[in-house]
Amino acid sequence: MIIYHLKDLMHQESNKLGIRITYDDIAKTTGISKVTLSRLSSIKGHNPRADIIEKLCKYFNCTPNDLISIYPDENPE
């Protein structure tokens, strides 16, 4: 299962800058739709394109390892 840490990164960035970071802020800067950002935050295993991951990593000045974690599936087939 793939988990995206978008909300964690938003929280960390908000604390660092002293302002609230919203999906709207990220969307305006990166061109990623708010719907896509919401899906990344709420749907486990959502599969965004590589360019979206790259844009988010550039926005947060992080690596894909900071944005994404992979965990074993709970019910392997």
What the chain holds in terms of domains, given with CATH numbers, is 2-70 (1.10.260.40)
DSSP state of 75: S
Cβ atoms of 46 and 40 closer than 8 Å? yes
Instruction: Work out the number of other CB atoms within 10 angstroms of the CB of residue 32.
Output: 20
Instruction: Please give the pLDDT value at position 43.
Output: 81
Q: Which residue has the tokens 């360019």?
A: 51
Which mean pLDDT values do the consecutive 10-residue runs of the chain (77 residues) have?
92 94 96 95 86 97 94 72
**pTM score, two decimals?**
0.86
Instruction: Please give the pLDDT value at position 26.
Output: 97
Cα torsion 37, 40, 68, 17 to 10°: value is: 30
